[in-house]
Amino acid sequence: MLTNGWKIKIVFFFRFTDSKTFQSIFNDKSEIILNSNNKTAVYVDKNKTRYIFHMNAAMKSSNKEMVEKLKYIKKNIRKYVKRK
């Protein structure tokens, strides 16, 4: 269940009621789901191919598009959480 959502330029962010799960849907239809409980990042590319990573491994991935999107998410989630 969602607690809230917001849009920043190229992405919609959704925070779920468990406060540990964030979903980000980009304008290009790719998605990233972050779950801090089990430390996973799920990346769904534009072709709907799903990749599952441990959060630390995701940032070191050779998938440059995903890494850039993770950095964008990290930067903007921090701004949002600080406002709350």
Helices marked H in the chain: 55-59, 64-83
Residue 34 tokens, joined: 């972050």
Question: Which structure tokens are listed for 25?
Answer: 């849907």
pLDDT tens string 15-57: 887 778 889 999 999 999 999 899 999 999 999 999 999 988 9
Taking the C-alpha atoms of residue 2 and residue 12, their distance in angstroms, rounded to an integer, is 13
pLDDT for res 83: 53
| pLDDT of res. 45 | 95
pTM of the model: 0.81
What fold is seen in the domain 2-83?
Answer: Arylsulfatase, C-terminal domain (3.30.1120)
Tell me which amino acid residue 12 is: F
